[in-house]
Chains A and B, each alone.
Chain A
Amino acid sequence: MSLLELKGVTKRFGAVQVLNGVDFNVEAGSVVGLVGDNGAGKSTLMKTVTGLYAMDDGVIQFNEESMIGIAPGQRRERGIEMIYQDLALAKQRDVASNIFLGREPVKKALGFIPNCVDKAKMDADALKMIERLGARIPSIHRPVGLFSGGQQQTVAIARALTFNPKLVIMDEPTAALAVREVESVLKLIRQLREEGIAVILISHRLNDVMEVTDRIVVLRQGRIEADLRTKKTQMREVVEYIVGAH
């Protein structure tokens, strides 16, 4: 039984058929590359997994539980996290507020006022998480909009990892990064696999995908074009599938 199982997932935006019966699965603790041309449906497919888009037809099972009718927040609680291409950060909020967005720990203020956000605990945990990632951030009290692209990326990653996910979806996590930062993201992906956390990596940088994944799934025009073992394939073959020349 796979951790994540998709069967016949279909999604239409008006007249445009974006996903056309996609079957896709991810084993626990494996790293799967999801590749394809622009507009192949990669991001749409992943947003149906996180619940941001409702699919028109098909089945999504996570940990043997159907995800139909389960809201994005509840899917996060079950262990599905996604790092979005645009990072989806609240840029005027500080590091801790972003990491704990939607899941702020609460306490009783002055002993009787309920539902008060525990900012001290949030800050302490956020700092721990940033340190665990080995990242350097000027100050966790500053709005993340003032940070560099790489630093913002770190905050987005920290948010995805803080609540013990079982599956982390990364949409172009290295697109905006400098070479050294790319290395650390790849290192992180390997580390997640060692900890038994599954990763779906969407990337145009096939070198990265070849380097860290166990499997590579090629999406083309809303369909699965190929499902390859990374060890038994070559970049050339992957590219041929992507452009439909195989």
Chain B
Amino acid sequence: MLMDRLSTVERWRRLQFFYDTKLHVRLESLIVLGVLCLTMAILSPFFLSVSNFLNILLATTTIGVLAIAATLILSSAGLDLSLGSVLGFSGVVGAYFCVIMEWPWPMAIIGALGAGALAGYVNGTLITRTRIPAFIVTLGMLGIARGVGLLIAPNGGAIYGLPAPVIYLGQGRPLGIPMPVIILAVVAIVAHYVLSYSRFGHHTLAMGDSEAAARATGIPVEPLRRKLYTLSGLLAGLAGLIFMARVNAGDPTAGYTYELTAITAAIIGGTSLFGGKGSILGAMVGALIMGVLQNGLNLLAVQSYYQQIAIGGVLILAVYIDQLQSAKERKS
């Protein structure tokens, strides 16, 4: 009897190990996603439909892109609280370029991505040069980016009337698949390769695990960190571009508190808040969990205030579980 139980535990551990190391997805998060979908399907007759499925995917794209950024940064034992604000700021800059300045439509893309990358670069430079903790620098950027976005937008309102090619990025449906979903899929695959297979990713995870080890082995820690924050800003800019294209407006209030959801998605997906462990595919599962949760609560007509409470609760719970696991691995 005892032998049987042991072998079940051992089988479970091997399965976990396989998902963790080969597929880079935490088995538990897949189970949570499955249980969540099942629950919603039972509770709401509208949940199980192709159109609702596409709805969930579409609603998850913005958070999904931000969750990729959060995963890269958390893996390096950093933190980027400015994701949501930079999203809003980038959208405003993109819309400003093509609507108010009346520059050709590609400038909307360049503007949004450039604004995001710039904000990220400023974050990275301040963190590496001044040694002010990332928490404070990106918290400052959270305020600054939001404020600058509101300043740029006329009367702090949204900038409407984007050119058709830009709107296509948010609303187009080649082969019936929403463009944002395609963009997210491509970005996620590239980011997954970068974090889990490239040298850049290996160094990022090593730095997040032990900065001393990274330094001792000659990994250039400061330039790497600067690149990561710039990349994080660039991804927030991309999320801003997608968001802007979807709603056909550069809205300076867009992305408010999205960093909370994005960081939660990353941590649910198996990325450690303490660095050294991260998975993009896991973050996608995490983002889907958040998406299904929000979609389900909407279908069940639960007030949106409760959604905020649910997201906050899930974040705390996910970090608690992560802490228990990390404590086990970090003891030397």
Contacts and interface: CB of A to CB of B under 8 A. Distances in A.
A and B from one assembly? Answer: yes
Interface of A: 50, 52, 71-76, 82, 84, 86, 88-93, 97-98, 101-104, 106, 109, 113, 115-117, 141, 143, 145-146, 149, 152, 159
Contacts of A113: 193
Nearest to B326: A92
B331 interface: yes
B216 A52 contact: yes
Contacts of A97: 202, 206
Given A86-B212, A90-B276, A115 B206 contact: no
Given A92-B330, A117-B199, A143-B329, A102 B218 contact: yes
B213 interface: yes
B214 interface: yes
A89 B218 contact: no
Contacts of A93: 205-206, 209, 276
A75 B218 CA distance: 8
Interface string B59-97: 000000000000000000000000000000000000000
B219 A89 contact: no
Given A109-B197, A115-B198, A116-B198, A92 B217 contact: no
A80 to B, nearest CB: 10
A221 B200 CA distance: 41
A89 B220 contact: no
| Interface of A (DSSP majority class) | mixed
Most buried by A among B197, B220, B277: B197
A90 B217 CA distance: 11
A91 B197 contact: no
Given A71-B218, A73-B219, A106 B210 contact: no
Contacts of A92: 205, 209, 272, 276-277, 326, 329-330
B209 A102 contact: no
A106 to B, nearest CB: 6
A120 B210 CA distance: 24
Contacts of A146: 329
Nearest to A159: B217
A101 B217 contact: yes
A85 to B, nearest CB: 11
B216 A115 contact: no
B210 A102 contact: no
Nearest to B212: A88
Nearest to A73: B218
B329 A74 contact: no
B215 interface: yes
B332 interface: yes
18 contacts: A50-B216, A52-B215, A72-B215, A73-B218, A73-B219, A76-B217, A84-B216, A90-B206, A90-B276, A91-B276, A92-B329, A97-B202, A101-B213, A109-B197, A115-B199, A117-B199, A145-B329, A159-B217
Contacts of A76: 217-218
A113 B209 CA distance: 26
B191 to A, nearest CB: 13
B216 A82 contact: yes
B141 to A, nearest CB: 28
A104 B330 contact: no
Nearest to B194: A115
B276 A117 contact: no
Nearest to B331: A145
A90 B219 CA distance: 13
Interface of B: 21, 193, 197-203, 205-206, 209-210, 212-220, 272, 276-277, 326, 329-332
Most buried by A among B213, B219, B326, B329: B213
A115 B213 CA distance: 22
B206 to A, nearest CB: 5
B220 A73 contact: yes
B332 A117 contact: no
Contact of A89 (B193, B199, B201, B213): B213
Contacts of B215: 52, 72, 88
A113 B218 CA distance: 25
A149 B206 CA distance: 20
Contacts of A89: 210, 213
A50 B277 CA distance: 28
Nearest to A84: B216
B200 to A, nearest CB: 7
A91 B329 contact: yes
Given A76-B218, A91-B210, A93-B206, A104 B332 contact: no
B216 A88 contact: yes
Contacts of A103: 217
Nearest to B205: A93
A43 B45 CA distance: 68
Contacts of B329: 91-92, 143, 145-146
Contacts of A116: 193, 197-198
Most buried by B among A88, A113, A152: A88
A200 to B, nearest CB: 16
B62 to A, nearest CB: 27
Most buried by A among B205, B215, B218: B218
Contacts of A98: 213
